[in-house]
Amino acid sequence: MAEKSLSDQNLPDTFNEIWKFYDLLEKTEESTSSDKVQGYVYHACDMCKKAIMMVNKLELFSRNEDIDEVSSGEIKYLLLPGLMGYFLMKNTVRDRLKVVTESQDFYTDFLKMCRSYNVTTFEVPEKKEATNSDTTVVVRTAPPRPSPADLRGMSGQRNNKIQRYKEQKELEKKLHDLKEVVEQDHVDDEVKREYYLTLLRRWVNICIDELDSIEGEIGILELMAKRKGDKSHSEPPKKVEDQSSAPLRPFIITKDMIQKQIYGLGYPGIPTMTIEEFFDKKVEEGTLHAHTGGHSMEDWAKDPDKDKVEQEKEEAEKETRLENDDPDELKKARDWDEYRDDHRRGWGNRKNRH
C-alpha cells in the first residue's frame, strides 16, 4: 500500500488504492475476522468515503445524464458506492445490524445510479417506512401465505437468478479477456470504455444478489435483537449450583436388606463393599469357587490378547482329546447332545405359555 496521505492524493490515485484493497480481500486466505484483514477493511472504507466526497465535490455525475455522456475515465467512479457496500460487509468489529443496514444503503444507491444511467433495467424495491415524531422505523411484516400469483412471482425470481448467473459467467470471461488488453501500455479509449462498462454490469449483478442476502440477514438479526431485549427484561436466571462430576467410585453391593431399603441398591448409598470384597467373602463362605482355569470374562478384561491365545489353546487341546477318544471328553459331548435333544431352543423363554 502507498504511504501517501489521503489529503495529498487525487481521485485516480485514491481509486487505484481502493481497488488494490479489493484485490487483497478477494485473494487473501486469512480469516475475515483477523486483525490484518480488519485493518484492510478499515482503511478501504476510509478511502472509499474520501473518494465519494471527492466525486461529490467535483460533481462528476448527475441523475439526468445517460451513460454515453460519461467519459471513459470516469465510468469506474460509479463503482464507489458498490465497493463501499462490499467493504462494509467484511467488517466484523462493529454491530452487525448497523453494518449490514449501511451496506444495504450503499448497494441501493449504486443500483439506483446505474438504473438512472441506463446501465441496468433493475428496479430497486423501496423500503416501507412508518414514521412518527421521534424516529423512523423500517416495517417488515410477516409474508402472507403465497397465492398462485405469488408462486408465479417466485418462479420468475428463480428464473431471473439463473439468468443473472449465466450472464455473470459471460461477463467474467469478457472481463478476463479485456483486462489483458487494458493493462498494456497503449490502450484504445473504446477498449477501456468497454472494460469499465462490463465491470459495471458485473457489479450490478453482485449487488442484486447481495441485497437479497442482506434482506434475509437483517430479518434474522432483528429477531435476535428482539429476543435478546425480551430476555433482558425477564427475571435473572437462578444461580446454578456447581454440578462438577464426583470422582469415579467402585461399584457397590449392599450388605443386607436393611441397607438396601435405606440407601437403595447401593446407589447413591454409602460405599459398603467392593466387587473384590464380595468375591473373597463368597469364596470363604464356600458359595463361590475361585477361578482356577479356563476362559472367564475377568481374564478377558485384564488381557484380551492373552485370553484369546489361551482360549484357542484350550480349543485345540479339546479337539486333540476328542480325536484320541478321551473318555471324559466323549462323555461331555454325549451329555450335551442328549441335552439338546430333550431341550429345544427357546423352551426356557416361553413365560408359562404352552
- Which pLDDT does position 135 carry in this prediction? 35
66-105, pLDDT tens digit by residue? 999 999 999 999 999 999 999 999 999 999 999 999 999 9
Range 83-111 burial, b when 16+ CB lie within 10 A, else e:
bbbbbbbbbeeeebeebbbbbbebbbbbb
CATH superfamily, region 6-128+158-232: TAP42-like family (1.25.40.540)
What are the cell numbers at 228? 435478546
Min mean pLDDT across 109-118, 202-211, 239-248, 310-319 is at 239-248
Q: Are 216 and 222 in contact (CB under 8 A)?
A: no
- Beta strands, E only, the chain: 129-131, 136-138
DSSP 174-233: HHHHHHHHHTSSS--HHHHHHHHHHHHHHHHHHHHHHHHHHHHHHHHHHHHHHHHHHHHH
Per-residue pLDDT of 14-60, as tens digits, reads 999 999 999 999 999 999 999 999 999 999 999 999 999 999 999 88
- Is the preceding omega at residue 81 within 30 degrees of 0, hence cis? no
Query: Cβ distance 77 to 60 under 8 Å?
Result: yes
What are the cell numbers at 209?
444478489
Determine the Cα–Cα distance for residues 79 and 58; give it in Å rounded to an integer.
16
Mean pLDDT, rounded, for 289-305: 58
Using alpha carbons, select from 83, 100, 79 the residue that is nearest to residue 46: 83
- pTM higher than 0.75, yes or no? no
One-letter identity of residue 242: D
**Rounded to whole angstroms, how far apart are CA atoms 177 and 38?**
32
The residue extents of the domains of the chain are 6-128+158-232, 257-341
Residues 137-180: pLDDT tens digits?
A: 343 444 455 555 566 655 666 777 787 778 788 888 888 888 88
pLDDT at 321 over 50: yes
> Greatest CA span in the chain, whole angstroms?
114
User: At residue 236, what is the residue type?
Assistant: P
